[in-house]
């Protein structure tokens, strides 16, 4: 069942000049579409205070208003500006997604490299990973969060932990593959110490597949955050996140559909951007995979 | 010309000006540049040439088994019993494949489906083209395995391909091809992937079965020795064209194309004793992506003169029944 | 073969022991006294001490763990704090909606996903193939609850074709039962369809270029026989693997779908349990879900041997 963690062959990428950009964009459109969309979202998120209104301001006299020049997406059941909340929601989604993905990537990298390096550690770590994998992502995150109650810190940890096994297995398979390569054996025969070999030769080989997997983890983390918030165990309810917005507006779907569709569509677009970037990176690092798909 | 018409009903397969192209991302490869040849009833025709010369493409073009997206037969006719196979519907074509024209492939290791038993796969060929029931077809499969000299066929019918050796798998492939007693059997390098001793056994089997069943065989190979042992007539291909065509005896006695001569010189020969090094044909096979001006062999040919680089020679009879596509065939033949 | 099954059983038990330990520690690691949590907010000190004694919380941890495991093996998953009833009984009451939704979703996902993938591979680069690429991109990116609300808004609120939410037991008639399940199944299936279709396509595409496919064509086999007889079985191992994965992780989607559509199943039970901090229920669901995962994995591995005669353990 290790279908998704097949080792990715790496192809060296030469130094690229700015003038090559159009050619690169044509050859790897996914990287540019995904990356561009993601950059746009990050800019929108960071600049939200400059152009969007106050996402927290309630106005009991303007509940569930239709879209208007003042409030582009109308208002929610507490009279808050849906557009402002959606734009500020981008910050939460991206922050939780990126930080969880970084945690999972670093943690998985450490576990994977150590497992590929030491047999003793490998057998223990992989059994623990099997155990973690056997608990469905959302349930595992829910269980972890139920220990402390909702909070952004525990949320990030709870989202990152279920992603660890995938990353760790991927890195381990790359390390085990690279260890057999002639140039690594040559380095070892040449008297280099294994830790140094790991650092110099093996770590660089793990970076490209790790970037692809990192994008996948990031997409999955954004989805998990939204799902957990929707279930009421994610981001604390007072913070405007997309999952929270959808959860608090669900009763008003018939009257004010935008209160749900605006954050819903933004969520889908964000995940799509990250997924496209991940697919594009995979094609970039493993051109053979592109032909196969 | 008169003689030609009198033997016409002996002709089983008549290929005229067959042209097949492969389409790449940015280029077109002219894999077959208009070839014409005939296979007569019951004869064994050898097709010789280096890899990439168009031997296998010819076979796949006849059966219309080329990959649909990347290859297309763009011109010519393939008359089988007088009907042009290129004009048949896909459904009519399916009735011919495996039934009246069958094929054996080069790689016995990968040419059998790994998830079905050998018996099942042979029985399938029987069931597609006859009204046999499953059990009748399985009985026929067992009989065919016995025909191709597989010992213990009662047990072997239930074997999966991975439980058999390469030679045995190729025998099973032959059994499958013979399932419906085809009139023409196309064997595409059937022995290349096998051990030398097994090669000899398979060759003997093909020759013997051919004699017993009377089927015509088109034997594709790069090995002139195999041709000498098995065939009556030979065509020699180079860069997507036929460069020489003759009876086996004639070809070995009087090779009339410089390429054929080069091929013969590069075959190790015990009679010539120990040689320091086998002579090889200098130069490389031309790319088929660009149109070739003149004779495609000219750049490598010791006989080449100006006309060879300007005009493409056509296949013409040097002596009756012995054709060569060379401007200087008469001189070459005497050389 | 028997030795392999035995070995797999042992490793399955090892995984379950790991999960068991994690789930056991969950209650012990929760901040505060487990007895106080179980007793509830309005409990007196004596009540808490009573519960402590009753649950054996004063005993050493390993003994508590062994007792807990032994109880579970005997079918005692503890008692819900909130409802005061055995966990297994509560789960049993909620089984029908969850099972209906899960089964329907798997049937739809596998049939639609596999056929979609086969057609896309057969006509690679064609219209269906490009549609699949676009559909897969969406299926992987739009979360279940967003699809769910879109479906409710469109088909239930605007067009009035189907009920907005809720569940009708199958005992009250197939019609209403099915009507209530259409939208939840649709919402839950899309992602799995995309996943299964994409793997099916990739796997089929690889098989279609194999030498034995050319052999089959040379025999005169029809397109149908080529695809479904010769190719599909060879492409089966990866397909079975993803179907297993989908099955194993179905519960995550079910939790969300049941919340969107107000289906009173195990998912809702779990969400309510979290909000009530009803740990015994959370523990029970976790154990059962991982048990399911381990069993599906085992079944998939054994299924491989049925598909591919080369796989022998």
Q: How confident is the model at residue B249 (pLDDT cuts 50, 70, 90)?
A: very high
CB contact under 8 A, A143 and C199: no
Q: Is B98 on the interface with C (CB under 8 A)?
A: yes
Report the topology of domain A29-47+74-286: MetI-like fold (1.10.3720)
Question: Nearest CA of chain C to the CA of B229: how many Å?
Answer: 27
> For residues A23 and A187, is the Cβ–Cβ distance under 8 A?
no
CB contact under 8 A, A135 and C22: yes
Q: Token pair for residue A126?
A: 């992989």
Q: Is the dihedral of CA B319, B320, B322, B328 positive or negative?
A: positive
CB contact under 8 A, C218 and B102: yes
d(CA B205, CA B199): 10
For chain C, list the contacting chains (3+ Cβ pairs, <8 Å).
A, B
CB contact under 8 A, C215 and B173: yes
Strand partners, B97: B101
Q: Token pair for residue B15?
A: 């290929």
Q: In chain A, which residues have their Cβ closer than 8 Å to the Cβ of C143?
A: 223, 226-227, 264, 267-268, 271
Residue-averaged pLDDT of chain B: 87
Query: Pick from B65, B102, B176: which is nearest to C214 by CB?
Result: B65
Q: Is A275 on the interface with C (CB under 8 A)?
A: yes
Question: Nearest CA of chain A to the CA of C22: how many Å?
Answer: 9
Among C252, C291, C297, pick the best mutation site for testing chain A contact (most A Cβ within 10 A): C252
Query: Pick from C216, C218, C307: which is nearest to B113 by CB?
Result: C216
Q: Is B100 on the interface with C (CB under 8 A)?
A: no
How confident is the model at residue C306, as a pLDDT? 86
Percent of chain B at pLDDT above 70? 94
Question: For tokens 């002139």, what's the residue?
Answer: B224
Instruction: Indicate the pTM of the whole model.
Output: 0.83
Q: How confident is the model at residue C112 (pLDDT cuts 50, 70, 90)?
A: very high
ipTM value, please give it: 0.85
Chain B and chain A touch, per 3+ beta carbon pairs within 8 A: no
| Residue C158 burial (CB count, 10 A) | 11
**Residue B223: pLDDT over 80:** yes
Q: In chain B, which residues have their Cβ closer than 8 Å to the Cβ of C219?
A: 97-98, 102, 124-125, 128, 176
Q: In chain C, which residues have their Cβ closer than 8 Å to the Cβ of A231?
A: 255-256, 259, 271, 274
CB contact under 8 A, C137 and A272: yes
**Residue A139: pLDDT over 60:** yes
Q: How confident is the model at residue B269 (pLDDT cuts 50, 70, 90)?
A: low
Residues 6+ apart with CB under 8 A from C150: A261, A264
How confident is the model at residue A269, as a pLDDT? 92
Q: Token pair for residue C157?
A: 């609120």
d(CA C174, CA B61): 56
d(CA B242, CA B49): 9
Q: Is B233 on the interface with C (CB under 8 A)?
A: no
Q: Is A288 on the interface with C (CB under 8 A)?
A: no
Q: Is C185 on the interface with A (CB under 8 A)?
A: no
How confident is the model at residue A191, as a pLDDT? 76
Among C124, C206, C207, C212, pick the best mutation site for testing chain B contact (most B Cβ within 10 A): C212
Chain C and chain B touch, per 3+ beta carbon pairs within 8 A: yes
Q: Is C37 on the interface with A (CB under 8 A)?
A: no
Question: Nearest CA of chain C to the CA of B253: how many Å?
Answer: 36
Question: Nearest CA of chain A to the CA of C257: how many Å?
Answer: 10
Q: Is A59 on the interface with C (CB under 8 A)?
A: no
Strand-by-strand arrangement of the B322-324 sheet: B101-104, B184-188, B216-221, B44-48, B233-238, B241-247, B322-324, B316-319
**Out of A10-14, B34-38, C131-135, C253-257, which region has the weakest mean confidence (pLDDT)?**
A10-14
> For residues C201 and C133, is the Cβ–Cβ distance under 8 A?
no
Residues 6+ apart with CB under 8 A from B55: B47, B48, B49, B188, B189, B220, B222, B237
Q: In chain C, which residues have their Cβ closer than 8 Å to the Cβ of A147?
A: 26, 29-31
How confident is the model at residue C274, as a pLDDT? 79
Q: In chain C, which residues have their Cβ closer than 8 Å to the Cβ of B112?
A: 212, 215
**Out of A44-53, A168-177, B209-218, C149-158, which region has the weakest mean confidence (pLDDT)?**
A44-53
How confident is the model at residue A116, as a pLDDT? 82
Chain C and chain A touch, per 3+ beta carbon pairs within 8 A: yes
Q: Is A276 on the interface with C (CB under 8 A)?
A: yes
More confident position, C266 or A19: C266
Q: Is B136 on the interface with C (CB under 8 A)?
A: no
Q: Report which of A163, A138, A243, A235 is spatially closest to residue C271, judged by C-alpha positions.
A: A138
Domain extent listing, chain A: 29-47+74-286
Altogether, the residues listed in chain B come to a count of: 335
Q: In chain A, which residues have their Cβ closer than 8 Å to the Cβ of C206?
A: 292
Q: What is the mean pLDDT of residues B98-121?
A: 91
Question: Nearest CA of chain C to the CA of A276: how many Å?
Answer: 8
Residue C151 is classified by DSSP as H
**Residue C61: pLDDT over 60:** yes
> For residues A201 and A188, is the Cβ–Cβ distance under 8 A?
no
**Residue A6: pLDDT over 50:** no
Q: How confident is the model at residue A206 (pLDDT cuts 50, 70, 90)?
A: confident
CB contact under 8 A, C245 and A3: yes
Kindly report, residue by residue over A50-67, the tens digit of the pLDDT.
777 777 777 777 776 777
- Cα maximum dimension of chain A: 78
**Residue A4: pLDDT over 60:** no
CB contact under 8 A, C310 and B95: no
Q: Is B181 on the interface with C (CB under 8 A)?
A: no
CB contact under 8 A, C307 and B160: no
Question: Nearest CA of chain B to the CA of C151: how many Å?
Answer: 39
Q: In chain A, which residues have their Cβ closer than 8 Å to the Cβ of C31?
A: 147-148
Q: Report which of A233, A234, A269, A229 is spatially closest to residue A246, judged by C-alpha positions.
A: A229
> For residues B86 and B18, is the Cβ–Cβ distance under 8 A?
no
Query: Pick from C286, C297, C300: which is nearest to A143 by CB?
Result: C286
Residue-averaged pLDDT of chain A: 80
More confident position, A224 or C29: A224
**Residue B39: pLDDT over 80:** yes
Among A134, A237, A250, A254, pick the best mutation site for testing chain C contact (most C Cβ within 10 A): A134
Question: Nearest CA of chain C to the CA of B112: how many Å?
Answer: 5
Among A136, A164, A236, A264, pick the best mutation site for testing chain C contact (most C Cβ within 10 A): A136
Question: Nearest CA of chain A to the CA of C198: how many Å?
Answer: 9
CB contact under 8 A, C219 and B176: yes
Kindly report, residue by residue over A243-254, the tens digit of the pLDDT.
888 888 888 777
CB contact under 8 A, B105 and C219: no
Q: In chain B, which residues have their Cβ closer than 8 Å to the Cβ of C234?
A: 113-115
Phi, psi of B257 (to 5 degrees): -120, 135
More confident position, A195 or A224: A224
Percent of chain A at pLDDT above 90? 14
**Residue B34: pLDDT over 80:** yes
DSSP element (H, E) containing B69: none
**Count of pairs with CB atoms under 8 A, one residue in B, one in C:** 70
Residue C164 is classified by DSSP as S
**Residue A125: pLDDT over 60:** yes
Q: What is the mean pLDDT of residues A128-133?
A: 85
Q: Is C8 on the interface with A (CB under 8 A)?
A: no
């Amino acid at each position: 069942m290790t279908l998704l963690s097949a080792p990715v062959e790496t192809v060296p990428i030469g130094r690229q000049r700015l003038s090559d950009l159009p050619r690169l964009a044509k050859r790897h459109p996914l990287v540019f579409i995904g990356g561009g969309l993601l950059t746009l979202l990050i800019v929108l998120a960071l600049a939200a205070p400059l152009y969007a209104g106050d996402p927290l301001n309630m106005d009991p006299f303007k509940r569930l208003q239709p879209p208007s020049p003042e409030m582009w997406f109308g208002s929610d059941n507490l009279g808050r500006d849906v557009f402002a909340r959606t734009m500020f929601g981008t910050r939460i989604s991206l922050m939780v997604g990126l930080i969880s993905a970084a945690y999972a990537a670093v943690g998985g990298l450490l576990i994977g490299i150590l497992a590929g390096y030491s047999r003793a550690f490998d057998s223990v770590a992989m059994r623990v990973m099997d155990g973690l994998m056997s608990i469905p992502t959302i349930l595992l995150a829910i269980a972890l969060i139920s220990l402390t109650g909702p909070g952004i810190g525990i949320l990030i940890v709870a989202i990152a932990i279920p992603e660890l096994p995938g990353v760790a297995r991927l890195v381990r398979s790359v390390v085990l593959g690279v260890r057999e390569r002639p140039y690594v054996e040559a380095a070892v025969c040449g008297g280099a110490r294994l830790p140094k070999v790991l650092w110099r030769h093996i770590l660089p080989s793990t970076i490209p597949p790790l970037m692809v997997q990192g994008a996948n983890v990031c997409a999955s983390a954004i989805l998990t955050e939204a799902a957990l918030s929707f279930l009421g165990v994610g981001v604390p309810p007072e913070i405007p996140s997309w999952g929270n917005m959808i959860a608090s507006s669900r009763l008003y779907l018939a009257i004010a559909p935008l209160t749900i569709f605006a954050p819903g569509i933004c969520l889908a677009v964000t995940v799509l951007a990250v997924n496209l970037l991940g697919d594009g990176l995979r094609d970039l690092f493993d051109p053979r995979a592109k032909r196969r798909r | 010309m008169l003689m030609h018409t009198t033997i016409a009903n002996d002709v089983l397969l008549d290929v005229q000006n067959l042209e097949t192209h492969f389409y790449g991302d940015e280029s077109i490869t002219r894999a077959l540049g208009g070839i014409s040849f005939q296979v007569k009833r019951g004869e064994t025709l050898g097709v010789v040439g280096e890899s990439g010369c168009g031997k296998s493409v010819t076979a796949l073009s006849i059966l219309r088994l080329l990959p649909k997206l990347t290859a297309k037969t763009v011109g010519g006719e393939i008359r089988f019993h007088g009907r042009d196979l290129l004009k048949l519907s896909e459904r009519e074509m399916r009735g011919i494949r495996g039934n009246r024209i069958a094929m054996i492939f080069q790689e016995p290791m990968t040419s059998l489906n790994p998830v079905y038993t050998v018996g099942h796969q042979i029985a399938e060929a029987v069931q597609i083209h006859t009204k046999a029931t499953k059990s009748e077809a399985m009985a026929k499969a067992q009989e065919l395995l016995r025909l191709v000299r597989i010992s213990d066929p009662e047990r072997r019918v239930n074997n999966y391909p991975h439980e058999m050796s390469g030679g045995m798998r190729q025998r099973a492939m032959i059994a499958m091809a013979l399932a419906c007693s085809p009139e023409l059997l196309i064997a595409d390098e059937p022995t290349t992937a096998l051990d030398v001793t097994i090669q000899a056994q398979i060759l003997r089997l093909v020759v013997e079965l051919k004699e017993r069943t009377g089927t015509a065989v088109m034997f594709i190979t790069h090995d002139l020795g195999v041709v000498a042992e098995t065939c009556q007539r030979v065509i020699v291909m180079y860069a997507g064209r036929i460069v020489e065509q003759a009876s086996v005896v004639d070809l070995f006695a009087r090779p009339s194309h410089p390429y054929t001569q080069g091929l013969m010189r590069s075959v190790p020969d015990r009679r010539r004793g120990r040689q320091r090094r086998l002579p090889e044909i200098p130069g490389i096979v031309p790319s088929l992506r660009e149109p070739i001006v003149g004779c495609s062999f000219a750049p490598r040919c010791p006989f080449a003169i100006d006309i060879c680089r300007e005009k493409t020679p056509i296949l013409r009879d040097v002596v009756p029944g012995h054709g060569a596509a060379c401007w200087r065939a008469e001189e070459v033949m005497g050389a | 073969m028997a030795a392999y099954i035995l070995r797999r059983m042992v490793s399955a038990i090892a995984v379950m022991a790991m999960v068991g330990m994690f789930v056991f520690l969950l209650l012990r690691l929760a901040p505060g006294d487990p007895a106080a949590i179980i007793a509830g907010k309005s409990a007196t000190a004596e009540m808490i001490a009573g519960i402590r004694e009753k649950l054996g919380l004063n005993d050493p941890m390993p003994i508590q763990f062994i007792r807990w495991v032994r109880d579970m093996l005997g079918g005692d998953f503890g008692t819900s704090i909130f409802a005061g009833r055995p966990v297994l009984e509560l789960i049993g009451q909620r089984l029908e909606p969850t099972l209906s939704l899960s089964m329907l979703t798997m049937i739809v996902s596998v049939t639609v996903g596999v056929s979609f993938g086969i057609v896309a591979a057969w006509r690679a680069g064609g219209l269906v193939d490009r549609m699949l690429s676009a559909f897969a991109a969406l299926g992987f990116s739009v979360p279940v609850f967003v699809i769910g609300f879109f479906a409710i808004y469109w088909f239930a609120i605007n067009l009035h074709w189907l009920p907005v939410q809720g569940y009708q037991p199958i005992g009250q008639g197939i019609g209403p039962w099915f009507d209530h399940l259409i939208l939840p199944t649709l919402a839950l299936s899309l992602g799995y369809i995309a996943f299964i279709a994409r793997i099916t396509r990739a796997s089929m595409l690889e098989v279609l270029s194999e030498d034995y496919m050319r052999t089959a064509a040379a025999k005169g086999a029809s397109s149908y026989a080529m695809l479904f007889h010769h190719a599909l079985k060879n492409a089966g191992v990866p397909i079975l693997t993803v179907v297993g994965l989908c099955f194993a992780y179905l519960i995550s989607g079910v939790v969300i779908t049941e919340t969107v559509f107000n289906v009173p199943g195990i998912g809702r039970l779990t969400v309510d349990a979290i909000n009530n901090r009803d740990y015994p229920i959370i523990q029970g669901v976790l154990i059962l879900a991982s048990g399911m995962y381990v069993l599906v994995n085992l079944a998939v591995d054994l299924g491989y041997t049925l598909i591919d005669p080369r796989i022998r353990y």
